[in-house]
Amino acid sequence: MTDLKQAKINEAEAIERAKQGDGEAFEFLYNLHKRRVYSLCLRMVSNPPEAEDLAQEAFLQLFRKIGQFRGESAFSTWLHRMTVNVVLMKLRKKGLNLISLDEPVENEEDSQKRDFGGEDTRLASSIDRMQLQSAIEKLPPGYKTVFVLHDVEGFEHNEIAGMVGCSVGNSKSQLHKARLKLRELLKLSRAEKAVKPSGARQ
């Protein structure tokens, strides 16, 4: 029962054994991909219990089809896409706009003011992950979807356009706006941190 834990087995072997109904092979595959899948779900819905359900659903959908799977290299891509589909389906069911198509057009002056910000415009040379994570949570759903799919998950704009159902241009523009919004939120959180140094309690 423990050979999967003891011996170093690769993903392809685990897939073949999972096809035979081997529980440890399923667990091995789950452990190999759980962080990626769960993190994706969590970034997209910003709600841990919901993300758990979605991750569970994505793995189940994949495992149910494992008998049809051929070849090792595409397994993570397959799982990854399935996870995105499960999450997008959920967001659609909740009635959330995956893309904001009708955003107000801002005039160039406003846009420039916002984009450059005030005096102290640059972020630090690195960003705290927790702060980035909480800034992503605050993004409007449309921005968040494209940002997570592109910058966190590494999908191309044409893939995102296909998955979300928008144009490539739309995906690019949502991504840009998401990054601008994140920059604003990160600067804000940096400013708040400067006012309230860590450890200061009332």
Partner 1 sequence: MNCVEFLQTLPEGPENHGNPEFNHHLNSCPACEGLAADLDLISREAVSLAEYDDPPPRVWNAIALQLRQEGLIRDPQQQVLQLPAKRRRWNPFLIAAPLAAVLVLAGVLFRGDLGTTPTRPVRPTAAAPILNQADQQILESVAAQTPELKNAYKENLERVNVYIDHAEVALKANPEDQAAQQELMDAYEQKNMVYAMAMDRASE
Residues lying near partner 1 in the complex (CB under 8 A): 1-2, 20-23, 26-27, 30-31, 34-40, 42-43, 51-52, 55-56, 59-60, 63-64, 66, 108, 111-112, 115-116, 121-123, 125-127, 129, 132-133, 136, 147, 151-154, 172-173, 175-176, 179-180, 182-183, 186
Nearer to partner 1, 22 or 72 (CB): 22
> Least distance in Å: CB of 95 to partner 1?
25
DSSP string, 50-65: HHHHHHHHHHHHHHHT
Nearer to partner 1, 152 or 188 (CB): 152
> Least distance in Å: CB of 200 to partner 1?
26
| Closest residue by Cα to residue 62 from 89, 39, 38, 30 | 30
| Closest residue by Cα to residue 62 from 41, 87, 80, 45 | 80
Chain-centre distance of CA 186, in angstroms? Answer: 18
> Least distance in Å: CB of 154 to partner 1?
7
How buried is 93 (Cβ within 10 angstroms: 0-12 exposed, 13-18 middle, 19+ buried)? exposed
